[in-house]
Amino acid sequence: MAPHDLRRPFKRRPISDQQKRRDLSLLRQSQHRSDAQQRARNLASSVISLQSSSSPDVDPETLSEPMPDVDTAGHESEASSFSIRQASSLRGPEARKWFASQLMLPEWMIDVPENLSRDWYVLARPAGKRCFVVSTDGVTVSRLRNGSVLHHFPSALPGGARKKGVSGPAQSYSILDCIFHEADQTYYVIDMVCWRGYSLYECTAEFRFFWLQSKLDETGACDPPSFYHKFRFSVVPFYNCDQSGLHSAYTGSLPYVKDGLLFYNKHAHYHTGNTPLVLIWKDERCSQYVIDTDNNGQVPSQQHIVLELQDDGKIVTSDDPPVVVNCLNADFVKQSGLSPGSLVRFAIGDGGLNCVDGKFEKADLQYISVSNRARAFADSYSKIMFQYMARRSPLKVEDLASMISQENQQDKLPEVEMSD
């Protein structure tokens, strides 16, 4: 894709309500600050109660449901600071559940956002393990999406190693959203959540990315590994999503293996859970894993999806609120040994899916089995539809370029004064 190609006009698909939900998410942000103090108190109370729990440790793969989203906004609150700092010392299932509920998870791009070139960043996602990295009280801990510990190590992050004068005060803490790239043993940082005790949850992506670039390098965290700094950190390059930026992210040479493109709305706060203000998009050129594979690494002939069974027999996605895909007969539920909360695997039959404005009007599903216990969440609506489209009529990079070109042409149109 050349950086300044003009493409055919892109026709928007009617299957998605992503744009509507993007607008709603931005509106809710402006109303969110008023209750930040109370939410911070609730979070601190939750962490205190989890710390006092004496439940035994469990295998992280048995985590079957995420906790309800809890927000760590309100950096001015002492309780909020306490909860974030103490979270790194939680143990067992309490720690896993807490951290599993904290990541901001992108939706899959199933329509092209409005104002893509003006309001969005684009970056090439590194292939690897998505995790939080928390540095506090002289140690650094990384945790995967299911909350299990990936590494426990010293680092040059603030409060990340027991060496005076290197990582700042002992009570300082920082939280980074990273992807660990196994090949070069590097933590690639895609977002900054807290820095030296200052919460960035209610800051825009534009501000968070600015801080990430300016602050991380000051600490020496981007330096090669050493005794007090076991792993190197590196900021993932991000670009304004104009023609040049899209071209750089899509085709540019990078030190890591790409796994699709991430798109961040510049005005988005760090929202825990799935959000339409961060999107992921893939094709065969920028990812090895466009279409889901089975346990043998092969693409199945039919698309497989995982849904959650509710009390009333409805099977739903992991979205908040969940999207109803179909309903199971009570006798079938009993015969199959299913129970509310079960994650169930289905294949999409020849009848396919029919969706309008983010709702399933028809879904030809064939029951396969209960999902593997390692699975923590059902599929989201956007993932199901992205995979469905990828097998039939994928959203192409040319469609993204076309939308950017249309926006550029609209910006150049002269204003016409209306005469009386």
Residue 108 one-letter amino acid:
W
What pLDDT does residue 95 have?
Answer: 57
Domain with CATH 3.30.470.30 in the chain: 17-42+92-163+170-281
Chain centroid to CA 288: how far?
A: 19
Helix, strand, or coil (residue 202) = coil
Q: Is residue 91 within a helix (H) or strand (E), and if so which, with residue range?
A: none
In 336-380, alpha helices (H): none
- 76, 128, 82, 83: which is closest to 102 by C-alpha? 83
Contacts of 403 (CB under 8 A, 6+ apart): 10, 112, 116
What pLDDT, on the 0 to 100 scale, is given for residue 25?
80
- Phi then psi for 285, rounded to 5 degrees? -80, -30
Mean pLDDT by 10 residues, the chain (420 residues): 45 63 78 46 32 36 31 36 52 57 88 94 97 86 80 90 59 85 97 87 93 92 92 97 97 96 96 91 95 86 95 92 92 93 94 83 92 81 94 95 89 57
Fold observed for domain 17-42+92-163+170-281: D-amino Acid Aminotransferase; Chain A, domain 1 (3.30.470)
Single-letter code of the amino acid located at 171: Q
The residues facing 108 across adjacent strands are: 280
Question: How many whole angstroms separate alpha carbon 409 and alpha carbon 293?
Answer: 40
Within 8 A by CB and 6+ apart from 331, the residues are: none
d(CA 189, CA 234): 6
